[in-house]
Amino acid sequence: MSTEKKMKVLITGANGLLGQKLVKLYESKEDVDVIATGRGATRNPFGSYTYEQMDVTVASEVDKILSKHQPDVVINTAAMTHVDQCELDPETCQKLNVDAVSHLIEASKKTNSFIIHLSTDFIFDGEDGPYVEDDLPNPLSKYAESKLESEKLLEASGLKHAIVRTMLVYGIVPDMSRSNIILWVKKSLEEKQLIKVVNDQWRTPTLAEDLAKGCALIAEKRAEGVWHISGSDMLTPYDMAIATADFFNLDKSLIEKADGSIFTQPAKRPAKTGFILDKAKRELGFEPVSFKEGLAILKSQLANV
């Protein structure tokens, strides 16, 4: 019998989409102990993990839970990700996206934990996408500024860490508490609603399972530095909507192309981001599914909800 020590992974924001996918992914790995944390009761139906209520914005709670469990790796998925909400409530955005990272850094210094922190394509201005890891950031919104600030905190911390930038994450959770563009398009077309979808912004949309897989590869290798983890298909939201309609045999004539300027949004969005994944593919062995394969995975999951 192996006496090898299990890797202890603490996940923040474990009730969110990525958090739940990470818990599920680790469910099949016998050499990993998971401590899932979040605000409120656990929403995660999957098996054997320890759950702790922890508010990442409260330094004493973070310190207490990390001290108690002494994790080898902390994966920070907790964040305020609603871009317009961050613009309208910069104080809460700062607390969740920046101050919380400070608390995790201070607690991790005592436990000597490796931190994996989730960041975003929005730190770029979208003038010159797709981007590699060392391209220069130029944030256009409060959300993007907060994420870049958190990256800088980690870089200055002296802790072993990884920054995982991702974008437009889609997927479903068992209680269907999280929506995304695919579910919205599918539901709208099933209800015969006419929808306007942006065709002048480009992204490489990311299946939540792929993002979880990328984080797990980094955790396993303790791979330091910045990593771009996303899908590899460069699409506009309009392209995604058409592909969704085709895949689910829905009426795509209900989908209307729209210019981003017709939507009144407090936060400015970058026009074209997208990631070049060469580094993650080469050094981590990361291989994302295609957008069409992602739709097939979603379809099979919806059948089991």
Contact 155/285 with Cβ under 8 angstroms? no
- Does residue 119 fall inside a structural domain? yes
Question: Span 197-209, mean pLDDT?
Answer: 95
SS (H, E, C) 62-80: HHHHHHHHCCCEEEECCCC
Instruction: Give φ, ψ of 114 to 5 degrees.
Output: -85, 125
In this prediction, residue 1 carries a pLDDT of 41
Residue in the structure block whose two tokens are 């490489």: 204
Instruction: Check residues 250 and 46 and name the one with the higher pLDDT.
Output: 250
- Does residue 250 fall inside a structural domain? no
Instruction: Give φ, ψ of 72 to 5 degrees.
Output: -75, -40
In this prediction, residue 32 carries a pLDDT of 95
**Which segments of 53-140 does DSSP mark as H helices, in order?**
59-69, 83-88, 90-94, 100-111
- Lowest-pLDDT range of 32-41, 253-262, 279-288: 253-262
In this prediction, residue 305 carries a pLDDT of 75
Going by pLDDT thresholds of 50, 70 and 90, the confidence category of residue 263 is confident
Question: Span 29-48, mean pLDDT?
Answer: 89
Going by pLDDT thresholds of 50, 70 and 90, the confidence category of residue 193 is very high
In this prediction, residue 173 carries a pLDDT of 86
Angstrom distance (rounded) from CA 172 to CA 182: 10
- Does residue 135 fall inside a structural domain? yes
Angstrom distance (rounded) from CA 139 to CA 155: 18
- Does residue 298 fall inside a structural domain? no
Angstrom distance (rounded) from CA 280 to CA 216: 12
- Does residue 266 fall inside a structural domain? no
CATH number for position 109? 3.40.50.720
In this prediction, residue 260 carries a pLDDT of 80
Instruction: Give φ, ψ of 252 to 5 degrees.
Output: -80, -5
- Average pLDDT taken over every residue of the chain: 95
Going by pLDDT thresholds of 50, 70 and 90, the confidence category of residue 177 is confident
Query: For the segment 118-135, what is each residue's pLDDT rounded down to a tens digit?
Result: 999 999 999 999 999 999
- Does residue 141 fall inside a structural domain? yes
Percent of the chain with pLDDT over 90: 88
Please count the structural domains in the chain. 1
Which domain does 152 fall in, by range?
7-172+204-232+274-289
Residues 6+ apart with CB under 8 A from 269: 83, 122, 126, 140, 141, 201, 260
In this prediction, residue 22 carries a pLDDT of 96
Residue 33, beta-bridge partner list: 8
pLDDT of 172 > 50? The answer is: yes
Angstrom distance (rounded) from CA 258 to CA 196: 6
**What's 40's DSSP letter?**
S
Question: Span 51-75, mean pLDDT?
Answer: 98
Contact 126/229 with Cβ under 8 angstroms? no
pLDDT of 283 > 90? The answer is: yes
- Does residue 19 fall inside a structural domain? yes
In this prediction, residue 44 carries a pLDDT of 81
pLDDT of 21 > 90? The answer is: yes
In this prediction, residue 45 carries a pLDDT of 76
pLDDT of 174 > 90? The answer is: no
Query: For the segment 81-119, what is each residue's pLDDT rounded down to a tens digit?
Result: 999 999 999 999 999 999 999 999 999 999 999 999 999
In this prediction, residue 262 carries a pLDDT of 80
Instruction: Give φ, ψ of 203 to 5 degrees.
Output: -145, 165
- Does residue 213 fall inside a structural domain? yes
